[in-house]
Structure 1
Amino acid sequence: MSELQFDDVTVRYGVGRAAMTAVDRVSLVVPDGEIVGVVGESGSGKSTLARAAVGLVPLHAGRILLDGAPIPRRGPRQLQMVFQDPYSSLDPRMTIGSSISEVMPSGMTRRARAAETARLLELVHLDPDKADAYPARFSGGQRQRVAIARALAGRPRVLIADEITSALDVLIQGTILNLIRELQAELGLSMLFISHNLAVVRYVASRVAVMHDGRIVEEGTTADVLGDPQDEYTRELLSAIPRPIQYTP
């Protein structure tokens, strides 16, 4: 895995007076082998930042670097992204095995692709014998596991996860988050983890950046930012986390 760096990145939509700045001069580092969470409300710019990293939206200013160099836009994708909606991220006309294998590096034999597909399905705790099944046979949580396996099949240097648990129910969210932690420990993942939920970010990320109105208003280790927030917006996000109800006899 590798280090991902956002250097004074600005992203704008539209032109002239109608232009809207979605990301405003953001600088952030995803260190090698760490998960960095970016948290904020809808419209804060966090998903735009993720999409800019994989080239889905153009930069207005700034640079995005991988190990200190511009990200190659040709050849194998150095960054892979897992999207929010597990029901639209997989082609319903392709088996899950085909979806996974098509991302693998060129030059692999059919047998090698099949073996790697089986390994990746096992890695995300799915039955390799289901490789010939279509996405319609899987639940939302299972499809998200397939999407993670598909992203890993491209052998990315950094993985980007954009709200990958927000479309799932609470119990399934927990299994996906446990999987992310397991993969990070086993593979040493470098990951940019986008979420609107501070509790989710606290569970998986070693560092966190809080975004508001396109800017990072606070950034540091997860323990520091969430244990002693310095910005009022961060404190507001923390206060919105549901807390267990205390019953007294």
Structure 2
Amino acid sequence: MSELRFEGVTVRYGPTMAVDDVTLTVPAGTVVGLVGESGSGKSTLARAAVGLAPVGAGRITVGGAPVPTTGRRPLQMVFQDPYSSLDPRMTVGESVAEAMPRAGSRADRRAEVARLLELVHIDPAWAAARPAELSGGQRQRVALARALAGRPQVVIADEITSALDVSIQGAVLNLVRELQRELGLSMLFISHNLAVVRYVATQVAVMRDGRIVEEGPTDRVLAAPEHDYTRELLAAVPGLTTPTGRSPR
């Protein structure tokens, strides 16, 4: 896994500045949380990284090299909606295999699909199933397996638990933590929920109106937020307390 870096990145849609001069680093082998309300620009920044939004200024690098605009990309993204992230006409195995580099025999590819499904705690027997046969949580696990199939240097997870039932969210977050430990995963984890970010990320950046307004180690930001907007986000999470046991003020 490698470092992902945004350097002075700007994204504009007509007169609207969606991302304004953002500099942010995801160190190799770490999970960095990016938080903010809807419309803050966090998803636009993610889409710019994978080539789905136009970068008007600045640059995005992985491992010190600019992200290529053609060919195999070192970034893979897992999207918010598990029900639209997989092609309903393809089996689970076909969806995962499609993202793999074009090498190896059919048997090798089937074995790799099985390994990836097991990695995300999906029985390989589900490889023959269609997405409609899976639950939302299962689909999101398959989406993670598909992202890993591309052998990325960095994974971007955009609100991957927000569309799931609360009972399933915890299992997916546990999976993210497990993958980070086992694979040394580099991940930009996007969420509007600071409680979720606290659970998976070692560092956090807070985004508002297209800008990063605060960043640092997760424990420090949650214990002693410096920006009023960060304090507002913390106050919006029921029961979220600082490491001293007090609600942030």
- Distance in 1 (CA, whole Å) between partners of 2:27 and 2:92 is 31
Report how many residues are paired: 240
Matched to 1:95, the amino acid is: T
1:116 positional shift:
0.3
For residue 134 of structure 1, what is the aligned residue in structure 2? 130
For residue 51 of structure 1, what is the aligned residue in structure 2? 47
- Distance in 2 (CA, whole Å) between partners of 1:27 and 1:51 is 15
For residue 166 of structure 1, what is the aligned residue in structure 2? 162
- Distance in 1 (CA, whole Å) between partners of 2:167 and 2:179 is 19
1:74 positional shift:
2.4
For residue 113 of structure 2, what is the aligned residue in structure 1? 117
Classify the secondary structure of the residue corresponding to 2:128.
Answer: coil
* Equivalent position to 1:26, from 22, 25, 28: 22
1:76 positional shift:
1.7
The reply to whether residue 108 of structure 1 matches residue 104 of structure 2 is yes
- Distance in 2 (CA, whole Å) between partners of 1:72 and 1:111 is 30
1:2 positional shift:
0.2
- Distance in 2 (CA, whole Å) between partners of 1:209 and 1:75 is 30
* Equivalent position to 1:71, from 67, 70, 94: 67
Instruction: State the Cα deviation string for residues 103-140 of structure 1 (Å, max 9, x = none).
Output: 10012211111000000000000100110110010000
- Distance in 2 (CA, whole Å) between partners of 1:104 and 1:69 is 22
The reply to whether residue 223 of structure 1 matches residue 219 of structure 2 is yes
Instruction: State the Cα deviation string for residues 84-112 of structure 1 (Å, max 9, x = none).
Output: 00000000000000000011001221111
1:205 positional shift:
0.3
For residue 247 of structure 1, what is the aligned residue in structure 2? none
1:73 positional shift:
2.1
Matched to 1:102, the amino acid is: E
Classify the secondary structure of the residue corresponding to 1:225.
Answer: helix
* Equivalent position to 2:228, from 228, 232, 249: 232
Matched to 2:110, the amino acid is: A
Matched to 2:7, the amino acid is: D
For residue 211 of structure 1, what is the aligned residue in structure 2? 207
* Equivalent position to 2:140, from 144, 147, 168: 144
Query: Structure 1 residues 65-74 or 49-58, which shifts more?
Result: 65-74
The reply to whether residue 3 of structure 1 matches residue 18 of structure 2 is no
* Equivalent position to 1:175, from 171, 174, 180: 171
For residue 41 of structure 1, what is the aligned residue in structure 2? 37
Query: Structure 1 residues 74-83 or 92-101, which shifts more?
Result: 74-83
1:177 positional shift:
0.1
- Distance in 2 (CA, whole Å) between partners of 1:157 and 1:115 is 22
Classify the secondary structure of the residue corresponding to 2:237.
Answer: coil
Query: Structure 1 residues 34-43 or 65-74, which shifts more?
Result: 65-74
Moved over 3 A (4+): none
TM-score, normalised relative to structure 2: 0.95
- Distance in 2 (CA, whole Å) between partners of 1:100 and 1:77 is 16
- Distance in 2 (CA, whole Å) between partners of 1:78 and 1:68 is 12
Q: 5+ unaligned residues in a row in structure 2: which ranges? A: 241-249
The reply to whether residue 94 of structure 1 matches residue 90 of structure 2 is yes
RMSD across aligned positions (CA): 0.8
For residue 247 of structure 2, what is the aligned residue in structure 1? none
Matched to 1:3, the amino acid is: E
* Equivalent position to 2:197, from 172, 178, 201: 201
Q: 5+ unaligned residues in a row in structure 1: which ranges? A: 245-249
- Distance in 1 (CA, whole Å) between partners of 2:210 and 2:9 is 10
